Amino acid sequence: MQNRGIRHSVVATISCAALLLAGCSSGDPDPTGLTPSASASPTASPSTTPTHPSNTGRDSGMTDLEALARLLTPQTGETWFDTPVQISTPSWAIGDEYLDQDWVTWYELGARDGRSIVGFSAEAVQEIFEMAGDGTWEWIPFPSARATVTPTADSFGYDEVPTNTSLYYDSLTLPAVFTLPTGEPLLTPEYDWGSPGIPGRESLTPEDGEVVEQIGGYEVLRIAGDARWIWSDVYAVTAPVGLTYEEFMYVLGTPYGMFIPLEYAPLGELTDITWAIPTSIATDGYTSLADINDIGCGPRDSDHNTTVFGTQGSDWVQAGTTAHGDKVYIPTATNPLTQPMYDSYTAFKEGYGETPVSLEQFLNGPALIGYKAPGTGDWVVYLNGAYSGRAWC
C-alpha cells in the first residue's frame, strides 16, 4: 500500500503578510456588499464588480475578483445539498488506522454529472472525492481552481481510489481574502472545506451568527458571545474592574451546510505595523499576535477575537498604523487592563525564576494592542505572545 496524501493540517492559513497587500479598491460599489481585494500580485488591476468568470480552467494566480466571480456563477456543473448527508465509511477505508475512527465522519455533500461528491471530516472536511453509481471512487486532491497541482499528489494510497488532478469546482474556488465593507480583511484557510459546527468553540454556534454578506451560495457570518477575563483562573490576580467582554469570529457558511472559520486580520502581524514607539518586537523571540484571552499553550488561535467594553478613549494612546493606514493603540498605565495583565505576566515570569520587564517596557513592548473597530468604535484588544503569561509556555 502506498502512503496516502492526507493533509493533516486542517487550518493551514495563508500568510497574512502577503494577503494584506490586497486592500479595498475604489470604484463603483460592489453589488455583493463584499469588496473583493486585488490579488497579492502587484500587477493585478483592482476592481469592485465581480462579473462572469473571465476564463475557465485552473489558474493558481487568479485574482480574488475572479474567484468571487466563480462563486457567483459557477460553470463546472456541481450542485450541493443544503445539509450534508452522513454516510458509512467506504468499504475500501474500513479498518484504516486513520480513516475508520470515531472522530472521522464521512459526508455526501452534493453531485456532479451523476456522481456523488463526498468528503470526510476530522473536525473539518479535509479531502474531497467523487463516487460513481457503480461504486467507483476518485480522489480530488485540488478541488479549487486556484490550487497549484503538485506531482506529490499522485495517489491517495488505495488502488480503489485513483487520483484526478484535472477536476476542480468553481464553487470551491475561494478568494484568499474577503474584504468587509469596513475595509477589514478576512483570510480563508488553504485546506479546509468546512465543519458541521465551529471546532473548539462550544459557546459559539452558527445558529447564533449574523449574516454580514452573501456571495452566491455562501454567507459570511459574524458570531459573537459573552466572554470573561480568564487570567484569574491561573494567577491570583483580581480581574479588571468595570470591564466586560465579548468574543467574536467570522465564518463562511457554505452552500453544502458546512462552516469555514475565517481569520479576522485587520492588523496583519505585529511586524507589519509601523510603530511610533520604541518597541522591542524585533528582538522578542515569541512575538506574535494573539487574542487577549488566548491562555492556552501553543500557537495563537487565529480565528478568535475579544472586544473589551468599559475602557475610555483616554485609556489608550496611539502607537502606530497598520499597512492599511488604520490606527493601533497601546494602553496607558491607568487603563483598567494594564495592571492585571502586567501582574499575570509578572507571576508567570517569577514562577520560572525569570526577571520580568518593567511596566514601562511592558507597555512599550507592546504587550497589549488596542484596535478601534470601524463603524462601532468598540475596542478589540490583542496580546503580544512575548508578554503572555501562558500562550507560549
Residue 365 DSSP symbol: T
**Does residue 73 lie in a domain region?**
no
Where in the sequence is the domain holding 154, given as residue range(s)?
A: 78-171
- On whether both 164 and 282 belong to a single domain, the answer is no
What number is the average pLDDT over the span 376-388?
A: 91
- Tell me, yes or no, whether 149 and 296 share the same domain: no
State residue 300's pLDDT score: 62
List the one residue out of 185, 214, 169, 196 whose CA is nearest residue 13.
185
pLDDT (tens digit, 9 = 90+) per residue, 205-217?
A: 888 889 999 999 9
Element (H, E) at 222: strand 218-227
Mean pLDDT of 253-265: 94
Same domain, 160 and 240: no
Residue 266: predicted pLDDT: 93
What string of H, E and C letters represents the secondary structure of 162-178?
CECCCCCEHHHCCCCEE
| pLDDT for the residue numbered 88 | 95
From residue 260, alpha-carbon distances to 104, 194, 195, 206 in Å are 17, 4, 6, 10
Q: Is residue 325 part of a domain?
A: yes
Q: What mean pLDDT do residues 350-357 have?
A: 91
Contacts of 128 (CB under 8 A, 6+ apart): 109, 117, 118, 119, 139, 140, 143, 172, 193
Is-contact 117 128, C-beta < 8 A? Answer: yes
- Give residue-wise pLDDT tens across range 306-320: 999 999 999 999 999
pLDDT at 389: 83
How do residues 67-85 score in pLDDT, each as one tens digit? 999 999 999 999 999 999 9
Contacts for 243 with CB less than 8 Å, ≥ 6 apart: 229, 308, 309, 310, 311, 336, 337
Residue 12's pLDDT band, with cuts at 50, 70 and 90, is very low
Clarify whether residues 151 and 208 are in a common domain. Answer: no
Ranges of H-type helices in the chain:
16-19, 64-72, 338-351, 359-364
Is 57 a domain residue?
no
Is the CB of residue 375 less than 8 Å from the CB of residue 222?
no
**Mind giving me the DSSP string for 125-154?**
EEEEEEE-TTS-EEEES--BTTSPP-TT-S
In a domain, 282, yes or no: yes
Q: Is the pLDDT of residue 19 over 50?
A: no
pLDDT digits (tens, 9 = 90+) for 283-296: 666 778 888 987 76
**Overall domain count for the chain:** 2
SS3 assignment, position 338:
helix
CB atoms within 10 A of CB 265: 22
Q: Mean pLDDT of all residues in the chain?
A: 83
For residues 301 and 362, membership in a common domain is answered with yes
Percent of the chain residues past pLDDT 70, beyond the cut? 81
Positive or negative, the CA dihedral 299, 302, 306, 307 is positive
- Per the domain annotation, does 7 fall within a domain? no
pLDDT at residue 393, as a whole number: 61
Specify whether the CB–CB gap between 297 and 393 falls below 8 A: yes
Instruction: pLDDT band for 254, please (50, 70, 90 cuts).
Output: very high
| Residue 3 or 166, more confident | 166
Residue 50 pLDDT class (50, 70, 90 cuts): low
Q: Which of 171, 205, 223 is the last residue of a domain?
A: 171
- Selected residue with higher pLDDT from 225 and 13: 225
What cell does 114 get?
A: 451523476
Shared domain check, 273 and 203 = yes
In tens, the pLDDT along 167-202 reads 999 999 999 999 998 889 999 988 889 998 887 676
Same-domain pairing of 247 and 323: yes
Q: Indicate if 238 and 165 belong to the same structural domain.
A: no
Other C-beta atoms closer than 10 Å to the C-beta of 137 total: 21
Clarify whether residues 222 and 273 are in a common domain: yes
65 in Cβ contact with 173 (< 8 Å): no
Q: Name the least confident of 35-49, 123-137, 208-222.
A: 35-49
The pLDDT value recorded for residue 285 is 66
User: In which residue are the cell numbers 498605565 written?
Assistant: 333
Sign of the CA dihedral running 377, 379, 384, 387: positive
For residue 38, pLDDT beyond 80: no
